[in-house]
Structure 1
Amino acid sequence: MKVILSFDTEFSIGGAFNNSLSKPKSHEIFEPQGEPSHVGFRDVLNVLKQNSVRSTFFIEALQTHYFSKNEMGKYIDMLVKQQHDIQLHCHPCWEHFSKPNWKEDLATPPKDYYEGRSLAEIVNSLQFALKAFEQWGIPKPTAFRAGNLMVSTTLYKALKQCDIGLASNIGLPYFLPKEKELQIENCVKNIDGIIELPITSFTSFAGRKKVLTITGCSTQETCSVLKDCYAQGVEYVVILTHVHEFTKGKKRNRVNLTRLNDLCELVNENKEYCFTSFGDLSVNDLTETANLDSIKSNWLAGAITIIENQLNDRLSFY
């Protein structure tokens, strides 16, 4: 069973759409103690390096409507140096900053999804994002993830036009697409010529549906989900996390860093699992599989997650 550890890698609007005095945040999100510190982004890279794990980083590229290419570029340089997989992530709300008088045009907050846009509009948005990859001097992405996992069939048609053949846009417990053909779980699916690998989803404690994330699952629950995926013949497990989830204020989020390290060790030490990345996959080698909505974690693992997350949220020193 192949495990893909994926990081959505993005800066923050920083409340700029709600308060004209606020500004988007870049390096403060990734390195809250400042560049010399290893708290934040470099912590994540250190854990991956220590465990010899190559991960996929979905880089938000539309933020170049506001930030210069160098803001994210320095982090991309670190990823390239450690040979991680770099793919495309887009939050359309960043396009609002292309307006010269964006502060005066906030009566209606910008929409952070592509739904309602024409095919041509989405293609233009993606092409702008792809130019950022050219400016960063890295290869054209082969995989895409939509911001907020908010997806429509029109987006897949746009990806096809932009020659991006892989996607990981769907996580039903997080966002339920309107189109029935997009309501899929734990499978490999061809959608309008694009191969979709949804983020792994499962049923947790008390029947709650969840996507498999670092911040939302204890080590015990992640282990339980992986075991059930393997038992039920899931070929690809996709785990979601975000770079900013490994800090709490200006401190390390020790719970999430421990979970990340535990996951790396778990997969590396289990002969039935192995890590891969979206960049290592070829659409020609991926075969469609049946939708599978029966993955579960055991009740005790789910209960541990709830207790652990409550403590982590409420106690700064935990």
Structure 2
Amino acid sequence: MQVHLTYDVEIWADGWTDMAARLPAAFRRLTYGPPPHERGALPVNLQILRDNGLRAVFFVEPLFSYYYGLDALQEMVGLIMEAGQDVQMHIHPEWLDELPNEIVPRRKKTPMLHRFSLDEQAAMLDAAAGRLVEAGAPRPTAFRSGNYSANADTLRALARIGVKVDSSMNACFDFPYPDKGSARSLHPSHIEGIAEYPVTLFRDGFGRVRPMQITACSLAELVQGLTRARDQGLPAATLVSHNFELLSADRRSEDRIVTRRFAGLCEWLGRNAAQFPTASFDPSVVPAAPPDWELPQVSPLATAQRYVAQAARRLVH
């Protein structure tokens, strides 16, 4: 089973007021980690991946750079590409009304991409793709929408600008996808001519549906979820993280509990690379899953470990 380790890479200043003063420190903290040690952000993730010989996909949000400057985006893209990892495209439309240039007609702050028309989405995606190229990345071939917000027009807009893979689907969220049957099938498929790789879900030890996200699962849940999904015939799994996911909730210190969890997952994937190879998305091949594929369920003990870790994190941070 192929494993797609994916990151949403984005910069925020904890609100939209006084951004000119606060954004430089936010950029540094979310890219490198909080001072004084600057650990827990992109370099730590990249080093763990490197140490275990793993391939990951970094969906980078470029719209912020129209406000903050191309140099910042070049710095982020450079870190990722120098580590031999894959840069692809991410968008948070919340940035649009902050920008000096008008990519689409101005409106009040709109965080959901599916609220925009087909032409507006195409213009936004084309501008974002071009900005990544300006920053030194190859023209993107894969995309994930911020907030997992997408609809049929998103997929049509991606096709219009030549992007062939989407990974915006997360069935824990209910946005207006073009084909609800495909949207709920929970495995890779073709929709509107685009290769759709949804975020992989599982049932925890109590039967609740959860995404495979580094901060949302215990290590045992991730390992069991991947193993059982493979055994049930899932051909490819997509996991989610962020550039700041190894930081505490307030982004002020490294979260060593989550860092150890991620390192443990990467070590496991490295040891089992023959069965669980990590890879970028190949738009020419969408592996088929069995028609009766169901979400894997992990053990109650694996889920209990998540609760213990969450309690420990609250005590530490």
TM over 0.5: yes
Equivalent in the alignment of 2:247: 247
Equivalent in the alignment of 1:6: 6
Q: Is the 8 A contact 1:7 1:56 kept in 2?
A: yes
Q: Is the 8 A contact 2:207 2:297 kept in 1?
A: no
Q: Report the TM-score when normalising by structure 1.
A: 0.89
Q: Which amino acid aligns with 1:234?
A: L
- Tell me the SS of whatever aligns to 1:223: helix
Separation of aligned partners in 1, 2:140 and 2:292: 26
Separation of aligned partners in 1, 2:40 and 2:240: 20
Matching of residues 112-131 of structure 1 within 5 Å: 112-131=111-130
Are 1:262 and 2:264 matched, yes or no? yes
Matching of residues 207-246 of structure 1 within 5 Å: 207-246=207-246
Equivalent in the alignment of 2:315: 314
Equivalent in the alignment of 1:272: 275
CA shift for structure 1 position 287: 4.2
Equivalent in the alignment of 1:28: 29
Q: Is the 8 A contact 2:236 2:287 kept in 1?
A: no
Q: Unpaired segments of 5 or more residues in structure 1?
A: none
Separation of aligned partners in 1, 2:228 and 2:77: 35
Q: Is the 8 A contact 2:225 2:298 kept in 1?
A: yes
Separation of aligned partners in 2, 1:203 and 1:99: 45
Q: Is the 8 A contact 2:60 2:87 kept in 1?
A: yes
Separation of aligned partners in 1, 2:198 and 2:237: 9
Q: Which amino acid aligns with 2:194?
A: I
Deviation readout 1:38-76 (Å, 9 max, x if unpaired): 442211111111111121111001112311111121121
* Structure 1 residues 67 and 292, CA gap change in structure 2 (3 angstroms): farther
CA shift for structure 1 position 244: 0.6
Separation of aligned partners in 1, 2:265 and 2:33: 25
CA shift for structure 1 position 272: 2.0
Q: CA RMSD in A?
A: 2.4
Q: Give the number of equivalent residue pairs.
A: 306
Separation of aligned partners in 2, 1:118 and 1:222: 37
Separation of aligned partners in 2, 1:118 and 1:35: 44
Are 1:44 and 2:78 matched, yes or no? no
Q: Which amino acid aligns with 2:190?
A: N
Q: Is the 8 A contact 1:170 1:182 kept in 2?
A: no
CA shift for structure 1 position 146: 0.5
Separation of aligned partners in 1, 2:213 and 2:86: 19
Equivalent in the alignment of 2:167: 168
* Structure 1 residues 148 and 3, CA gap change in structure 2 (3 angstroms): same
Q: Unpaired segments of 5 or more residues in structure 2?
A: none
- Tell me the SS of whatever aligns to 2:245: helix
* Segments of 4+ moved more than 6 angstroms: 19-22
Equivalent in the alignment of 2:134: 135
Q: Report the TM-score when normalising by structure 2.
A: 0.89
Separation of aligned partners in 2, 1:230 and 1:221: 14
Q: Is the 8 A contact 2:2 2:237 kept in 1?
A: yes
- Tell me the SS of whatever aligns to 1:80: helix
Equivalent in the alignment of 2:205: 205
Separation of aligned partners in 2, 1:170 and 1:78: 27
- Tell me the SS of whatever aligns to 2:55: coil
Q: Which amino acid aligns with 1:80?
A: M
CA shift for structure 1 position 119: 0.7
- Tell me the SS of whatever aligns to 2:113: coil
Q: Is the 8 A contact 1:184 1:198 kept in 2?
A: no
- Tell me the SS of whatever aligns to 1:202: strand
Q: Is the 8 A contact 1:4 1:55 kept in 2?
A: yes
% identical equivalent positions:
23
CA shift for structure 1 position 315: 1.9
Q: Is the 8 A contact 1:8 1:60 kept in 2?
A: yes
CA shift for structure 1 position 189: 1.2
Q: Which amino acid aligns with 1:266?
A: W
Separation of aligned partners in 2, 1:284 and 1:233: 20
Q: Which amino acid aligns with 2:138?
A: P
